Every structure is written in structure tokens, then in C-alpha cells.
Amino acid sequence: MEEDKVTNPVKLVIIGGSAGSLEVVLKVLALITDKPSFALVIVMHRKSGEDSLLEELLAIKTKIKVQAVEDKTEMKPATIYIAPSDYHLLFEKNSTLSLDTSEKVNYSRPSIDVSFESAADVYGSDLVGILLSGANSDGTEGLAAIKAAGGTTIVQDPETAETPYMPKYAIQHLQPDYILDAKGIAAFLNLIDKNSPDKAA
Amino acid sequence: MIDDRELEILINEIFEYHGFDFGGYSRASLKRRVDRLYNLDRFTNFSQFLMKIREQPDYFKRMIEEITVNVTEMFRDPQFYKVLRTEIIPVLATKPFIRIWHAGCSTGEEVYSMAIMLKEANVLHKSLLYATDINPLVLDTAKEGVFPLRMMQQYSENYIASGGKEDFSKYYTANYGLAKLGGELSEKMVYSLHNLVSDGSFNEFDLILCRNVMIYFDKDLQERALNLFDDSLAKLGYLALGTKETLKFSQLKSRYQQINPNKLWKKIK
Ligand SMILES: C[S@@+](CC[C@H](N)C(=O)[O-])C[C@H]1O[C@@H](n2cnc3c(N)ncnc32)[C@H](O)[C@@H]1O
């Protein structure tokens, strides 16, 4: 069983963040390999209509391909997908992304809980969920769902978070697999990449 | 939480007992909606849930109301409405008669927004706005044209951002926390039930709007709906989709020209 978990290739890394998370994301992205073996999805709270701004910013700061998300966009490894504002982002079994305009959750759309729960349902143990800095409690239930489905959970060390409420809240309510700073998160992701079946050989 | 197998059973039973086919809906979102209803109504046993849906027409009606996502706004995405106002309506205005279809109109905010713009362009009198949905409850609200008054501030801002020049408050009368739109605006609206999964084309239109409806469908059902729109669209007519929807994945793509950068396509073949 344990062996299984280690050799299970991570297909998706999903990162959730709110206030103060952008810098952390940029730092992590700058430190990880250009062609990771997994897809990266970023769910970040922000004002509506700022989609292309964030996409462009990330595209400048990382060599990893940044792909704008439209409904039923197909996910590929080594690509970053950013949840558009004003929609919830959901995962289909055929590795496409669906968007949904239903009610806000935790005052948020996109909600981190919604995307984490959906990803957990589809990816189970092939998933890593990372919760960063923020000022609300979004993300904790989602992390719990990822954990329950056998995925790996990481919370940013609140000591290093610009707005520690969100990671603190998570740590108070569940035991994440790792509590790391930006550097630690990047190192962990590089390790997963190195251990992926197609690269380890 | 409902599991994947239970969801498929539910989809089959709904089709068998009520003739509604949710087989082409996006599973990720459908599962969330069904789960939400299951928890909201405090079910603890899936077969009880199933039995109620099978045997109680009222409960099935509630189910349709609750699993469809009806969230909408007036002048949602103001930039989109600005393009309609400045580029599309002037073209439509040259026609003797303007026919518009709002597919998946929900509670009608989109339809009233359109009527306001047509009125301001002095063409509402020669327009007809067909608005359809599968949820009968939202159509009742749309026909009444009564919306929460507290939303009007936001709608007024959207309206101005879309290029509206009038005092938005002249379009409604406020009463007990409600805003009533209507009068002249609703005279040209026709509301009716229509299911994009199973119903066919019923008229020919110059503009079809289907915004944030097909995101709940899988790709195959999206293609079906798009073909239905194609069959219902006059040559050189326009198709409008939601901000994150696209014709890119469709066979029909080559017959449409995108009006950049907004979610409007012109039928060119
Ligand atoms: C999120 S609302 C979109 C409202 C509006 N067009 C907008 O963009 O603001 C989606 C609507 O699609 C309707 N709908 C879902 N499935 C449908 C179907 N098969 N046929 C027709 N309408 C459907 C729902 O009942 C709901 O009112």
C-alpha cells in the first residue's frame, strides 16, 4: 500500500490562495522545473474581470506554459491553468475543466473548497493540494476532502504568510501532510517531478 | 455524498420516469448540484431519495429547480453588452424585423437588459424576444419582471459600464424591497419552456444568446445545442456565448467568424 502511494504518479497539483498568495505563487513557480510532469491549477480569489492580467503576469514570471481556461479546456502536464474570476472551476473524469456560475461559496467564486473537492473526487491519490496565504476560511474543507481521498496536502507555514488566517485555519482543523514555506513547497514539487515514472527511469 | 454509480442510476431513472435526459450534462457540476439537494433535504438514504424523485411529481419539479444553476444578472459582463449595443444592434436595426432568442434565460435579467438596449436604439417596437428555459419556476419570475431591489445598484453600475446613458432607475418601479420592470419593456417578450437536450428549432433568428448554459453540458451535448442554434440562425445572424465559452471545439467553427475579443460569432456560411 505504502509503496503504491509513493509510486503513484502525481497528475495534478492544485494551489489555492487569497490575500498575500500571489508572491508565494510567483516564488514557487520561479523555483520549479520548466517542464513538470504534472499539471498545475491555481485557484486564487480576486476581483472579477482581471483574468488576463494575472495570466500575463504569471506568463512573464515563469517558463512553464500558462494556458487561459475556458469551459472544457483539456488539461495537459507541464502547463499552468488559472481559475477564471466569477466561475467555480470543476474537474471532469476525461481531464477537461468545467466552469460553473453557481452561488458563491465562502463568499468566493472561484471557491478553493469547490475546486479542491472536485479535484479530490476525480484525482484521488494522484493529487497534491496546497493552501497558501489568505484572509478567509476557504480551502480547509477542500484540503480535508483531498486528504480523505488519499491525496497529499500541504499548507503554507503561517509564519511565512503575509495573511496567515487561511493557513492557520486549515492547520487548526486538520493535519496536513506538510507545512512548508515557498522554498519548501518548490523543493517538494521538484521531488515529485524527479520521481515521476517517465523521469525517474 | 452521492457516488458516481448512484449518480448514473439517478440519471437513468429520471429519464425513464420523467423523460428528462441529463445524460449529457457535465458530471462534475451535476454531481455537486445533486449532492447539494440531497443534503439540503436531509436525505440519509439514496434509495429513499430515488423513490421520492420517481414517485412524487412535485419533488421531481423541485429537483429540476434546484439542480439547474439559475444565477444571473442584468448587463452581466458589461463589455459584452457594450459590443452588442455599439456593433450588433445597429446592424440589426437595418432589418424590418428583429428576432432574438435567449436560450437558457433563467429569471430574465438578460432579456430585460436586451429590451432596454433595443428601446434605447428605437427598435424595440419591431423586435421580438423569445426566451426559453427548462425550469418553469424561473420563467414565472421572468414573466413578472420582479427582481430584488437591492440588486439595482449593481445593475445600474453594469448598465453604465455597458454604455447606458439614461437614468437606470426610470426602468423600474420600487415597492417593498422589490423592483418591477415591465410595461413597454416586456411587451415584446415571449417566454416558453424549451429543453436544449430534446427540443428542436422553432423559428429563425437574427441573434441567439446562450450564455453560461452550455458550461453545464459535456462536449457532445454542447455540439447538439450548437447545431440547434445553427439551424435556427439566419445567414449573417449572430451567436452570443458566455465569457468563458467557445466555438473553438465545434465542427461548426469554420462557418462562423468571431467578433473579437468578445464572445460573439457571425454566421458566414
Ligand atoms: C446560469 S443560467 C444563465 C442565465 C443567463 N443566460 C446568464 O448568462 O446570465 C443557466 C440556465 O440554463 C438553464 N438550462 C439548463 N439546462 C437547460 C436545458 N437543457 N435547456 C434549456 N435551458 C437549460 C437553467 O435552468 C438556467 O436557468
Digit-coded pLDDT (tens) for B243-265 = 999 998 899 999 999 997 779 99
The range of the structural domain enclosing residue B250 comes to 78-267
**Residue B135, in any domain of the structure:** yes
> Kind of pairing, strands B233-241 and B98-103?
unpaired
**Residue A30, in any domain of the structure:** yes
Query: Any chain A CB within 8 A of the CB of B71?
Result: yes
**Residue A142, in any domain of the structure:** yes
Q: Give the residue on B whose Cα is nearest the Cα of A98.
A: B215
| A118: chain B residues, CB-CB within 8 Å | 28, 32
Q: Which atom of ligand 1 is nearest to the CA of B138?
A: 27
Q: Give the residue on B whose Cα is nearest the Cα of A83.
A: B244
- N-term to C-term CA, chain B: 47
Handedness of CA B16, B18, B24, B28 (dihedral sign): negative
What is the 8-class DSSP label of residue A108? B
- Which among B25, B42, B67 is the end of a domain? B67
Q: Do A101 and B27 touch (CB under 8 A)?
A: no
- N-term to C-term CA, chain A: 21
pLDDT at A4 over 50: no
> Kind of pairing, strands B256-259 and B264-267?
antiparallel
Cα separation of B100 and B204, whole Å? 9
Cα separation of B236 and B114, whole Å? 19
- Count how many domains chain B has: 2
- Count how many domains chain A has: 1
Ligand 1 site residues, Cβ closer than 6 angstroms: A 101; B 68-72, 76, 104-106, 110, 133-135, 138, 195-197, 211-213, 216, 242
- Which among B67, B88, B113 is the end of a domain? B67
pLDDT at A118: 98
Ligand 1: centre distance to CA B29 (Å): 13
Query: Any chain A CB within 8 A of the CB of B216?
Result: yes
Residue with cell 477542500: A142
- In the residue annotation, A138 being an active-site residue is answered as yes
Exposure pattern of A64-89 as b/e (b: 16+ CB <10 Å)?
bebbebbbbbebebebbbbbbbbbbb
B74 in Cβ contact with B156 (< 8 Å): no
**Among the listed residues B98, B105, B66, B75, the one whose alpha carbon sits nearest the alpha carbon of residue B193:** B105
Cα separation of B7 and A177, whole Å? 31
B130 in Cβ contact with B192 (< 8 Å): yes
- Which among B67, B99, B118 is the end of a domain? B67
Mean pLDDT computed over A122-136:
97
Confidence of residue A7 (pLDDT cuts 50, 70, 90): low
Do both B107 and B83 map to the same domain?
yes
What size, in residues, is chain A?
Answer: 201
Ligand 1: centre distance to CA B125 (Å): 27
Residue with cell 440547434: B228
| A100: chain B residues, CB-CB within 8 Å | 28-29, 32, 69, 215-216
The range of the structural domain enclosing residue A92 comes to 12-194
A11 in Cβ contact with A91 (< 8 Å): no
**Residue B57, in any domain of the structure:** yes
Question: Model confidence over B228-238: pLDDT tens digits?
Answer: 999 999 999 99
Cα separation of A142 and B79, whole Å? 33
Do both B15 and B126 map to the same domain?
no
Query: Any chain A CB within 8 A of the CB of B269?
Result: no
Give the 3-state secondary structure of residue B34: helix
Question: Model confidence over B73-97: pLDDT tens digits?
Answer: 999 999 999 999 999 999 999 999 9
% of residues, chain A, pLDDT over 90: 84
Mean pLDDT computed over A143-166:
97
C-alpha cell of A167?
A: 493557513
Cα separation of A155 and A145, whole Å? 14
Q: Give the residue on A whose Cα is nearest the Cα of B4.
A: A121
Do both B59 and B99 map to the same domain?
no
Handedness of CA B222, B223, B229, B234 (dihedral sign): positive
C-alpha cell of B38?
A: 440531497
Confidence of residue B196 (pLDDT cuts 50, 70, 90): very high
Cα separation of A128 and A153, whole Å? 6
| B32: chain A residues, CB-CB within 8 Å | 90, 100, 102, 114, 118
Do both B15 and B127 map to the same domain?
no
Average confidence score pLDDT of chain B? 96
Q: Which atom of ligand 1 is nearest to the CA of A102?
A: 1
CATH number of the domain within which A109 lies: 3.40.50.180
Mean pLDDT computed over B100-104:
98
**Residue B155, in any domain of the structure:** yes
* CA-nearest residue, atom 3 of ligand 1: B212
**Residue B72, in any domain of the structure:** no
Is the peptide bond between A110 and the residue preceding it cis, with omega within 30 degrees of 0?
Answer: yes
A139 in Cβ contact with A149 (< 8 Å): no
pLDDT at A2: 39
Mean pLDDT computed over B42-65:
95
Cα separation of B206 and B154, whole Å? 29
Cα separation of B265 and B230, whole Å? 11
pLDDT at A50 over 70: no
| B246: chain A residues, CB-CB within 8 Å | 70-71
Confidence of residue A198 (pLDDT cuts 50, 70, 90): confident
Strand ranges across the sheet with B189-193 = B189-193, B127-133, B98-103, B205-210, B233-241, B264-267, B256-259
Question: Model confidence over B203-222: pLDDT tens digits?
Answer: 999 999 999 999 999 999 99
C-alpha cell of A201?
A: 527511469
C-alpha cell of B89?
A: 444592434
Mean pLDDT computed over B49-76:
96
C-alpha cell of A64?
A: 512553464
Catalytic one among A18, A108, A111, A196?
A: A18
pLDDT at A1 over 60: no
Do both B209 and B243 map to the same domain?
yes
Mean pLDDT computed over B101-117:
98
pLDDT at A195: 87
Query: Any chain A CB within 8 A of the CB of B27?
Result: yes
Q: Which atom of ligand 1 is nearest to the CA of B242?
A: 8
Ligand 1: centre distance to CA A66 (Å): 30
pLDDT at A47: 75
Confidence of residue A49 (pLDDT cuts 50, 70, 90): low
**Residue B225, in any domain of the structure:** yes
CA B236 to chain centre: 22
B164 in Cβ contact with B116 (< 8 Å): yes
pLDDT at B151: 97
